[in-house]
Protein backbone atom coordinates (compact mmCIF):
# COMPACT_ATOMS: atom_id res chain seq x y z
CA UNK A 1 0.00 0.00 0.00
CA UNK A 2 2.77 2.42 0.96
CA UNK A 3 4.63 1.65 -2.28
CA UNK A 4 1.48 2.31 -4.32
CA UNK A 5 0.84 5.58 -2.53
CA UNK A 6 4.43 6.66 -3.12
CA UNK A 7 4.18 5.86 -6.83
CA UNK A 8 0.92 7.81 -7.10
CA UNK A 9 2.53 10.77 -5.32
CA UNK A 10 5.52 10.72 -7.67
CA UNK A 11 3.28 10.52 -10.76
CA UNK A 12 1.09 13.37 -9.51
CA UNK A 13 3.88 15.92 -9.01
CA UNK A 14 6.19 16.47 -12.02
CA UNK A 15 8.96 18.05 -9.96
CA UNK A 16 9.06 15.03 -7.64
CA UNK A 17 8.97 12.68 -10.64
CA UNK A 18 11.86 14.54 -12.24
CA UNK A 19 13.93 14.49 -9.04
CA UNK A 20 13.16 10.80 -8.51
CA UNK A 21 14.27 9.99 -12.03
CA UNK A 22 17.52 11.88 -11.56
CA UNK A 23 18.15 10.02 -8.30
CA UNK A 24 17.40 6.58 -9.79
CA UNK A 25 19.78 7.22 -12.68
CA UNK A 26 22.58 7.54 -10.11
CA UNK A 27 21.66 4.57 -7.89
CA UNK A 28 22.78 0.97 -8.41
CA UNK A 29 20.02 -1.18 -9.85
CA UNK A 30 19.93 -3.30 -6.69
CA UNK A 31 18.91 -0.19 -4.71
CA UNK A 32 16.12 0.78 -7.09
CA UNK A 33 18.25 2.44 -9.75
CA UNK A 34 17.38 2.52 -13.44
CA UNK A 35 18.76 -0.42 -15.41
CA UNK A 36 22.02 0.28 -17.22
CA UNK A 37 20.47 0.08 -20.71
CA UNK A 38 18.00 2.85 -19.80
CA UNK A 39 20.50 5.29 -18.31
CA UNK A 40 21.53 8.19 -20.55
CA UNK A 41 25.28 8.57 -21.01
CA UNK A 42 26.99 11.33 -19.10
CA UNK A 43 28.00 12.89 -22.43
CA UNK A 44 26.46 12.05 -25.79
CA UNK A 45 28.92 12.33 -28.68
CA UNK A 46 28.13 11.36 -32.26
CA UNK A 47 28.42 12.36 -35.91
CA UNK A 48 25.31 13.79 -37.60
CA UNK A 49 24.96 13.38 -41.36
CA UNK A 50 24.21 16.72 -43.11
CA UNK A 51 22.22 17.05 -46.35
CA UNK A 52 23.75 18.13 -49.63
CA UNK A 53 21.42 18.96 -52.50
CA UNK A 54 22.34 17.60 -55.92
CA UNK A 55 23.92 20.42 -57.91
CA UNK A 56 24.51 22.64 -54.88
CA UNK A 57 28.00 23.93 -53.93
CA UNK A 58 30.26 21.38 -52.27
CA UNK A 59 31.49 23.76 -49.56
CA UNK A 60 30.75 22.95 -45.95
CA UNK A 61 31.06 19.74 -43.91
CA UNK A 62 29.31 16.47 -44.76
CA UNK A 63 28.84 15.61 -41.09
CA UNK A 64 28.45 17.54 -37.87
CA UNK A 65 30.26 16.45 -34.73
CA UNK A 66 27.83 16.77 -31.82
CA UNK A 67 28.66 16.48 -28.14
CA UNK A 68 26.13 17.39 -25.46
CA UNK A 69 25.07 16.25 -22.00
CA UNK A 70 23.51 12.80 -22.26
CA UNK A 71 20.09 13.83 -20.94
CA UNK A 72 19.46 16.56 -23.51
CA UNK A 73 16.35 15.72 -25.51
CA UNK A 74 17.52 17.22 -28.80
CA UNK A 75 20.86 15.42 -28.85
CA UNK A 76 19.14 12.13 -28.05
CA UNK A 77 16.61 12.59 -30.86
CA UNK A 78 19.26 13.52 -33.41
CA UNK A 79 21.48 10.58 -32.49
CA UNK A 80 18.61 8.12 -32.72
CA UNK A 81 16.91 9.39 -35.87
CA UNK A 82 19.24 11.80 -37.66
CA UNK A 83 17.96 14.89 -39.49
CA UNK A 84 15.62 12.65 -41.52
CA UNK A 85 13.55 12.29 -38.35
CA UNK A 86 13.64 15.91 -37.18
CA UNK A 87 11.25 18.39 -38.85
CA UNK A 88 12.30 17.38 -42.39
CA UNK A 89 9.52 19.45 -44.01
CA UNK A 90 10.66 22.65 -42.32
CA UNK A 91 14.36 21.92 -42.71
CA UNK A 92 13.88 21.45 -46.47
CA UNK A 93 12.05 24.78 -46.81
CA UNK A 94 14.57 26.49 -44.54
CA UNK A 95 17.44 25.31 -46.73
CA UNK A 96 15.53 26.47 -49.80
CA UNK A 97 15.08 29.88 -48.17
CA UNK A 98 18.86 30.13 -47.73
CA UNK A 99 19.07 30.03 -51.53
CA UNK A 100 16.04 32.16 -52.47
CA UNK A 101 15.70 34.83 -49.76
CA UNK A 102 17.54 38.11 -50.23
CA UNK A 103 20.97 38.48 -48.65
CA UNK A 104 21.04 38.96 -44.92
CA UNK A 105 21.46 37.22 -41.59
CA UNK A 106 19.78 34.11 -40.21
CA UNK A 107 18.39 34.32 -36.66
CA UNK A 108 17.65 30.99 -34.98
CA UNK A 109 15.42 32.09 -32.08
CA UNK A 110 14.90 29.31 -29.54
CA UNK A 111 17.82 27.41 -31.01
CA UNK A 112 18.34 24.65 -28.44
CA UNK A 113 21.66 23.02 -29.50
CA UNK A 114 21.48 24.86 -32.83
CA UNK A 115 20.16 22.57 -35.57
CA UNK A 116 18.92 25.40 -37.80
CA UNK A 117 21.79 27.77 -37.11
CA UNK A 118 24.49 25.17 -37.72
CA UNK A 119 22.77 24.11 -40.95
CA UNK A 120 22.66 27.74 -42.09
CA UNK A 121 26.36 28.19 -41.32
CA UNK A 122 27.27 24.89 -43.00
CA UNK A 123 25.25 25.48 -46.17
CA UNK A 124 25.46 29.24 -46.71
CA UNK A 125 27.70 32.25 -46.20
CA UNK A 126 25.04 34.15 -44.26
CA UNK A 127 25.82 35.64 -40.83
CA UNK A 128 24.12 33.31 -38.35
CA UNK A 129 22.93 33.87 -34.77
CA UNK A 130 21.50 31.33 -32.34
CA UNK A 131 19.36 32.63 -29.45
CA UNK A 132 19.12 30.27 -26.47
CA UNK A 133 18.37 31.50 -22.92
CA UNK A 134 19.03 28.24 -21.01
CA UNK A 135 22.71 28.50 -20.01
CA UNK A 136 23.58 24.78 -20.23
CA UNK A 137 21.91 24.41 -23.62
CA UNK A 138 23.52 27.61 -24.92
CA UNK A 139 26.90 26.23 -23.83
CA UNK A 140 26.22 23.03 -25.78
CA UNK A 141 25.23 25.02 -28.89
CA UNK A 142 28.41 27.08 -28.59
CA UNK A 143 30.51 23.93 -28.22
CA UNK A 144 28.98 22.35 -31.34
CA UNK A 145 29.71 25.47 -33.39
CA UNK A 146 33.30 25.71 -32.14
CA UNK A 147 34.02 22.01 -32.59
CA UNK A 148 32.84 22.14 -36.21
CA UNK A 149 34.50 25.48 -36.95
CA UNK A 150 31.18 27.04 -37.92
CA UNK A 151 30.68 30.83 -37.56
CA UNK A 152 27.57 30.69 -35.39
CA UNK A 153 27.26 33.39 -32.75
CA UNK A 154 25.33 32.04 -29.75
CA UNK A 155 23.36 34.79 -27.99
CA UNK A 156 22.38 33.82 -24.46
CA UNK A 157 19.14 35.74 -24.02
CA UNK A 158 15.40 35.38 -24.56
CA UNK A 159 13.71 37.57 -27.16
CA UNK A 160 10.34 38.88 -26.01
CA UNK A 161 7.99 41.85 -26.21
CA UNK A 162 9.99 43.87 -23.65
CA UNK A 163 13.49 44.25 -22.25
CA UNK A 164 14.75 43.44 -18.76
CA UNK A 165 14.82 40.15 -16.88
CA UNK A 166 12.21 37.47 -16.38
CA UNK A 167 11.76 33.88 -15.22
CA UNK A 168 12.42 31.00 -17.61
CA UNK A 169 10.28 28.07 -16.49
CA UNK A 170 12.19 24.80 -16.69
CA UNK A 171 10.13 21.93 -18.00
CA UNK A 172 9.82 18.54 -16.30
CA UNK A 173 8.81 17.09 -19.66
CA UNK A 174 11.89 17.99 -21.70
CA UNK A 175 14.69 20.54 -21.69
CA UNK A 176 13.41 21.46 -25.18
CA UNK A 177 10.17 22.73 -23.56
CA UNK A 178 11.62 25.43 -21.32
CA UNK A 179 9.52 28.56 -21.80
CA UNK A 180 8.87 32.09 -20.60
CA UNK A 181 5.18 31.11 -20.47
CA UNK A 182 4.15 30.08 -16.97
CA UNK A 183 2.32 26.75 -16.97
CA UNK A 184 3.20 25.78 -20.53
CA UNK A 185 4.58 22.48 -19.21
CA UNK A 186 4.79 21.00 -15.70
CA UNK A 187 7.82 22.65 -14.18
CA UNK A 188 10.85 21.71 -12.10
CA UNK A 189 11.96 25.24 -11.32
CA UNK A 190 12.78 28.56 -12.87
CA UNK A 191 15.81 30.70 -13.50
CA UNK A 192 16.17 34.43 -14.25
CA UNK A 193 17.20 35.23 -17.80
CA UNK A 194 17.92 38.39 -19.73
CA UNK A 195 15.09 39.60 -21.97
CA UNK A 196 15.43 41.80 -25.03
CA UNK A 197 13.24 42.80 -27.96
CA UNK A 198 14.28 41.82 -31.42
CA UNK A 199 14.10 45.43 -32.58
CA UNK A 200 16.41 46.69 -29.81
CA UNK A 201 18.86 43.85 -30.37
CA UNK A 202 18.92 44.44 -34.13
CA UNK A 203 19.50 48.16 -33.70
CA UNK A 204 22.33 47.60 -31.22
CA UNK A 205 24.06 44.95 -33.33
CA UNK A 206 23.43 46.47 -36.76
CA UNK A 207 22.35 43.10 -38.18
CA UNK A 208 20.17 42.89 -41.31
CA UNK A 209 17.94 39.82 -40.84
CA UNK A 210 16.47 38.03 -43.85
CA UNK A 211 15.45 34.67 -42.31
CA UNK A 212 14.04 34.07 -38.81
CA UNK A 213 13.26 30.73 -37.19
CA UNK A 214 11.02 30.99 -34.11
CA UNK A 215 10.46 28.14 -31.67
CA UNK A 216 9.98 29.57 -28.20
CA UNK A 217 7.23 27.34 -26.80
CA UNK A 218 4.10 29.54 -27.21
CA UNK A 219 5.79 32.96 -26.82
CA UNK A 220 6.36 33.40 -30.57
CA UNK A 221 3.81 36.28 -30.72
CA UNK A 222 5.82 38.12 -28.07
CA UNK A 223 8.95 37.79 -30.20
CA UNK A 224 7.06 39.15 -33.23
CA UNK A 225 5.56 41.99 -31.16
CA UNK A 226 9.04 42.99 -30.01
CA UNK A 227 10.33 42.85 -33.58
CA UNK A 228 7.62 44.58 -35.62
CA UNK A 229 10.04 47.27 -36.75
CA UNK A 230 12.40 44.57 -37.98
CA UNK A 231 9.60 42.92 -39.98
CA UNK A 232 8.51 46.27 -41.44
CA UNK A 233 12.00 47.34 -42.41
CA UNK A 234 13.73 44.10 -43.45
CA UNK A 235 10.78 41.89 -44.49
CA UNK A 236 12.40 38.59 -43.41
CA UNK A 237 11.04 35.14 -44.11
CA UNK A 238 9.78 33.73 -40.79
CA UNK A 239 9.66 30.02 -39.91
CA UNK A 240 7.47 29.72 -36.83
CA UNK A 241 6.15 26.94 -34.62
CA UNK A 242 2.42 27.27 -33.90
CA UNK A 243 1.08 25.17 -31.03
CA UNK A 244 -2.69 24.86 -30.47
CA UNK A 245 -4.58 25.88 -27.36
CA UNK A 246 -2.58 28.92 -26.23
CA UNK A 247 -4.09 31.70 -28.34
CA UNK A 248 -0.94 31.86 -30.45
CA UNK A 249 -2.80 31.70 -33.78
CA UNK A 250 -5.01 34.74 -33.20
CA UNK A 251 -2.16 36.87 -31.89
CA UNK A 252 0.09 35.99 -34.81
CA UNK A 253 -2.59 36.92 -37.36
CA UNK A 254 -3.30 40.21 -35.59
CA UNK A 255 0.40 41.09 -35.75
CA UNK A 256 1.14 39.89 -39.28
CA UNK A 257 -1.98 40.92 -41.23
CA UNK A 258 -1.17 44.68 -41.16
CA UNK A 259 2.27 43.80 -42.56
CA UNK A 260 0.65 41.86 -45.44
CA UNK A 261 2.49 38.65 -44.68
CA UNK A 262 1.30 35.39 -46.25
CA UNK A 263 1.30 32.14 -44.29
CA UNK A 264 2.01 28.58 -45.38
CA UNK A 265 1.55 25.49 -43.21
CA UNK A 266 4.58 23.22 -43.71
CA UNK A 267 2.83 19.87 -43.50
CA UNK A 268 3.27 17.06 -45.99
CA UNK A 269 5.26 17.58 -49.16
CA UNK A 270 5.63 20.88 -51.09
CA UNK A 271 4.30 22.83 -52.84
CA UNK A 272 2.34 24.51 -50.05
CA UNK A 273 -0.47 26.98 -50.67
CA UNK A 274 -1.17 30.20 -48.75
CA UNK A 275 -3.71 29.63 -45.96
CA UNK A 276 -6.50 32.08 -45.09
CA UNK A 277 -5.91 31.59 -41.36
CA UNK A 278 -3.16 30.40 -39.06
CA UNK A 279 -4.08 27.34 -37.01
CA UNK A 280 -2.27 25.17 -34.53
CA UNK A 281 -4.21 22.15 -35.70
CA UNK A 282 -2.31 19.94 -38.13
CA UNK A 283 -3.07 16.68 -39.96
CA UNK A 284 0.22 15.48 -38.50
CA UNK A 285 0.78 16.61 -34.87
CA UNK A 286 4.55 16.29 -35.32
CA UNK A 287 4.45 19.06 -37.95
CA UNK A 288 3.70 22.40 -36.29
CA UNK A 289 5.88 24.78 -38.28
CA UNK A 290 4.66 27.55 -40.60
CA UNK A 291 6.35 29.83 -43.09
CA UNK A 292 5.33 33.50 -42.95
CA UNK A 293 6.40 35.15 -46.19
CA UNK A 294 6.44 38.93 -46.81
CA UNK A 295 5.72 38.59 -50.55
CA UNK A 296 4.76 36.02 -53.12
CA UNK A 297 7.42 33.32 -52.96
CA UNK A 298 10.03 33.26 -55.74
CA UNK A 299 9.50 30.89 -58.62
CA UNK A 300 11.31 27.61 -58.10
CA UNK A 301 11.37 27.72 -54.29
CA UNK A 302 9.25 24.58 -53.94
CA UNK A 303 11.39 22.70 -56.47
CA UNK A 304 14.42 23.59 -54.37
CA UNK A 305 12.60 22.49 -51.21
CA UNK A 306 11.72 19.15 -52.78
CA UNK A 307 15.36 18.60 -53.73
CA UNK A 308 16.47 19.40 -50.20
CA UNK A 309 13.82 17.06 -48.80
CA UNK A 310 15.28 14.19 -50.82
CA UNK A 311 18.71 15.04 -49.44
CA UNK A 312 17.38 15.21 -45.86
CA UNK A 313 15.62 11.86 -46.19
CA UNK A 314 19.08 10.34 -46.76
CA UNK A 315 20.36 11.84 -43.48
CA UNK A 316 19.70 8.76 -41.37
CA UNK A 317 21.89 7.87 -38.36
CA UNK A 318 25.40 6.75 -39.19
CA UNK A 319 26.16 3.08 -38.57
CA UNK A 320 26.88 2.21 -34.97
CA UNK A 321 25.49 5.46 -33.56
CA UNK A 322 21.80 4.72 -33.01
CA UNK A 323 22.24 3.38 -29.49
CA UNK A 324 22.76 5.47 -26.37
pLDDT of residue 56: 81
pLDDT of residue 30: 52
**pLDDT tens track for 106-123:** 999 999 999 999 999 999
pLDDT of residue 321: 61
| CA dihedral angle for residue 55, residue 77, residue 160, residue 14, rounded to 10 degrees | 170
Average pLDDT score over residue span 81-105: 97
Please say whether the beta carbons of 162 and 226 come within 8 A.
yes
Task: Look at phi and psi of residue 32 and say left if phi exceeds 0, alpha if psi is from -120 to 50, else beta.
Answer: left
Task: Compute the distance between CA of residue 8 and CA of residue 25 in angstroms, rounded to an integer.
Answer: 20
Residue ranges per domain, the chain? Answer: 1-39, 44-313
Please report, rounded to a whole number, the percentage of residues in the chain having pLDDT higher than 70: 86
Could you check whether the bond before residue 296 is cis, i.e. omega within 30 degrees of 0? no
pLDDT bucket at 291, cuts 50 / 70 / 90? very high
Task: Compute the distance between CA of residue 73 and CA of residue 225 in angstroms, rounded to an integer.
Answer: 29
**pLDDT reading at 132 higher than 80:** yes
pLDDT bucket at 59, cuts 50 / 70 / 90? confident
pLDDT of residue 73: 94
Average pLDDT score over residue span 228-245: 97
pLDDT bucket at 3, cuts 50 / 70 / 90? low
Strand partners, 48: 64
**pLDDT reading at 274 higher than 90:** yes
pLDDT bucket at 286, cuts 50 / 70 / 90? confident
pLDDT bucket at 2, cuts 50 / 70 / 90? very low
pLDDT bucket at 28, cuts 50 / 70 / 90? low
**pLDDT reading at 306 higher than 50:** yes
**pLDDT tens track for 172-220:** 989 999 999 999 999 899 999 999 999 999 999 999 999 999 999 999 9
E-strand ranges in the chain read 43-49, 63-69, 105-109, 128-131, 152-155, 158-160, 164-171, 187-197, 209-214, 237-241, 262-265, 289-293
pLDDT of residue 284: 80
| CA dihedral angle for residue 72, residue 78, residue 81, residue 82, rounded to 10 degrees | 180
User: Which three-class secondary structure state does DSSP give residue 157?
Assistant: coil
Task: Compute the distance between CA of residue 241 and CA of residue 183 in angstroms, rounded to an integer.
Answer: 18
pLDDT bucket at 55, cuts 50 / 70 / 90? confident
pLDDT of residue 49: 97
**pLDDT reading at 16 higher than 80:** no
Q: What is the CATH number of domain 44-313?
A: 3.40.50.150
Amino acid sequence: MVTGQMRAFVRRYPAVRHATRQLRIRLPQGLGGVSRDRRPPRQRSFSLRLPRRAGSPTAGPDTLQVSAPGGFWMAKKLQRGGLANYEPETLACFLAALEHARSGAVLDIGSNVGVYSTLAAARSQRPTYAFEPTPAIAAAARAVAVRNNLPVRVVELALSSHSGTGPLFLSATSDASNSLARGFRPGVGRLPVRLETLSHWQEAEGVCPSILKLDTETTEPDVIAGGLEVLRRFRPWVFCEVLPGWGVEERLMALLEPLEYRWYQLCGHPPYRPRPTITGNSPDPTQRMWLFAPTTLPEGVWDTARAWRRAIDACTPLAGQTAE
